[in-house]
Amino acid sequence: MDLILWRHAHAGDPSEDLSLDMSRPLTAKGERQAARMAQWLNRQLIDATKVLVSPAVRAQQTAQALGRPFKTLEALSPGASVEDLLKACRYPHSKDPVLVVGHQPTLGAVLSQLLSPGQAPAATWSMRKGAVWWLRHRERDGVQEITVHAVLGPDSL
């Protein structure tokens, strides 16, 4: 199974009023980042790729840059758990690749759990805004393997 994690692109600074966090839009820089990454992703993704997106405005706008249908899931909201995200993706059992557009620190915690199993939960990895981590899971001779297929930031495209 391919699991592609895409952190939403650059959004405005968070307000002290946490009730406004879900409505923060992308900045002009974020729109450019999302467009660049979407262009690259669209050249790589197969048509059967499932796109799952947080309901936060900044994640929705990031996903819209792909121009593909996507499903909005509350389980991917800011503050979601690693377990919520992996369950929503049906990881590692999905037949089709899954692209998740979500948030830190959840995406970094997923990377930490999948790529550094057994490490302390405080070892959450950092993921830049607009970046993509593409992981590939397979079972070979009864052994679970995860490889990093690609890691890209929007500024490297």
Q: Say what the pTM is.
A: 0.94
Work out how many domains the chain is built from and give that number.
Answer: 1
| Integer Cα distance of 20 and 3 in angstroms | 30
What is the residue-level pLDDT of the chain in tens, covering all 157 positions?
999 999 999 998 776 666 788 999 999 999 999 999 999 999 999 999 999 999 999 999 999 999 999 999 999 999 999 999 999 999 999 999 999 999 999 999 999 999 987 766 656 789 999 999 999 999 889 888 999 999 999 999 8
Residues linked to residue 140 through DSSP beta bridges, in sequence order: 143
Give the 3-state DSSP-derived string for 104-124, with helices as H, strands as E and coil as C: CCHHHHHHHHHHCCCCCCCCC
Token pair of 112 as six digits: 């930490």
Whether residue 21 lies inside any domain: the answer is no
Whether residue 1 lies inside any domain: the answer is no
Distance set, CA 42 to CA 10, 35, 63 (Å) = 20, 10, 11
Whether residue 61 lies inside any domain: the answer is yes
| Integer Cα distance of 49 and 34 in angstroms | 18
The domain that contains 76 carries what CATH number?
A: 3.40.50.1240
Query: The domain containing residue 76 runs over which residues?
Result: 26-156
